[in-house]
Amino acid sequence: MRFMKKRYLFIIVFILAGLGGGYFLAMLDDSRTRWTGAPSDFQTGNVPKAGNDLQTVPMDPGGKIFSETATDKPVEFDVPFVIQAPTGNWDDPVFQNACEESSIIMAMGWVDGVESISPSDAQRRISEMYDFEMRTFGYGFDTDVFDVKRIFEQYLRHSNVSVREDIGVADIKKELQGGKLVIVPAFGQVLANPYYTPPGPVAHMLVITGYDPAAREFITNDPGTKRGSGYRYDEDVLLRSVWQYPSGQNIPPVPSGNFKKAMIVVGK
């Protein structure tokens, strides 16, 4: 009888130990922290330090590791649309070249929370901005990214604006995800917008209002066409078009060499 009691006691202890070990393994399996280094790092003694080389990787309920960065999320801002020739006056040189002014007006409309801008109001603002440029710069056509920044700061008294150079697609997406609007200068003919008057503009500027990661497209307000509100461009096409053109009227008819990339970032 004493032997049987000891046997039962041993069996109970064995079962309890198994249950406890299973619970411990289950806790380990539910961990959301995974070390992403290669096994050879352990072999060479190059073990990561906690909080530095360890990465916390989110997992779905099925246990599959997934990674979603902020730039992979869709974003789109409500930005009032302005065409650079608001009343269809494309023959007027001021409005033929008013893509910069109209882009600035759209961005400031977003900053101020304006839902829409009438054609007459847009035309007046473009004309007044052009006069400011002539007084300040001595020219009013094809203002470069740094002149556009000065217009924001000196004419519109808006200082939350900056210029970023040597940019890529990820840089544009990062600014959009950070809650900021992006204006880019471009060689318009690379965009191949079917609504442009052929062959399309040389020095052009437009506002990037959002990004669609599923389609890999930038959403824009393109002032070069009346159909430019919410117009989408493939991300690679748009980046290829980005060109930091110079100020003034000495723009080459077809730019040569590699395009220097830049953007204007506007915050509220």
Is the model's pLDDT at 63 over the cut of 50? no
Instruction: Note the helical H segments in 30-151.
Output: 39-43, 93-96, 99-111, 119-136, 145-150
Tell me, yes or no, whether 235 and 113 share the same domain.
yes
Tell me, yes or no, whether 142 and 232 share the same domain.
yes
Last residue of a domain, one of 16, 51, 70: 70
Tell me, yes or no, whether 132 and 22 share the same domain.
no
Is the model's pLDDT at 160 over the cut of 90? yes
More confident call, 45 vs 84: 84
Angstrom distance (rounded) from CA 3 to CA 105: 93
pLDDT of the residue at 259? 86
What is each CA distance from 229 to 12, 90, 224, 226, in whole angstroms?
74, 18, 10, 7
Tell me the residue range of the domain where 133 lies: 71-266
Last residue of a domain, one of 45, 70, 95: 70
Mean pLDDT over all residues of the chain? 80
Residues 6+ apart with CB under 8 A from 240: 190, 259
Give the model confidence (pLDDT) of 107-117 as tens digits: 999 999 999 99
Is the model's pLDDT at 123 over the cut of 80? yes
pLDDT of the residue at 186? 97
Tell me, yes or no, whether 50 and 181 share the same domain.
no
How many separate domains does the chain show?
A: 2
Tell me, yes or no, whether 76 and 47 share the same domain.
no
Q: Which of 48-52, 228-232, 259-263 has the lowest mean pLDDT?
A: 48-52
Is the model's pLDDT at 217 over the cut of 60? yes
Tell me, yes or no, whether 92 and 176 share the same domain.
yes
Preceding amide of 246 cis, omega within 30: no
Is the model's pLDDT at 31 over the cut of 80? no
pLDDT of the residue at 93? 95
Is the model's pLDDT at 249 over the cut of 80? no
Tell me, yes or no, whether 56 and 120 share the same domain.
no
Last residue of a domain, one of 51, 70, 89: 70
What is each CA distance from 3 to 6, 14, 16, in whole angstroms?
5, 17, 20
pLDDT of the residue at 25? 37
Tell me, yes or no, whether 129 and 51 share the same domain.
no
Tell me, yes or no, whether 134 and 11 share the same domain.
no
**What is the mean pLDDT of the segment spanning 23-35?**
33
Contact 186, 205 (CB under 8 A): yes
CATH number (domain holding residue 243): 3.90.70.10
pLDDT of the residue at 71? 64
Tell me, yes or no, whether 66 and 167 share the same domain.
no
Tell me, yes or no, whether 132 and 44 share the same domain.
no
pLDDT of the residue at 26? 38
Is the model's pLDDT at 188 over the cut of 80? yes
Give the model confidence (pLDDT) of 128-140 as tens digits: 999 999 999 999 9
Tell me, yes or no, whether 114 and 48 share the same domain.
no
Give the model confidence (pLDDT) of 196-214 as tens digits: 999 999 999 999 999 999 9
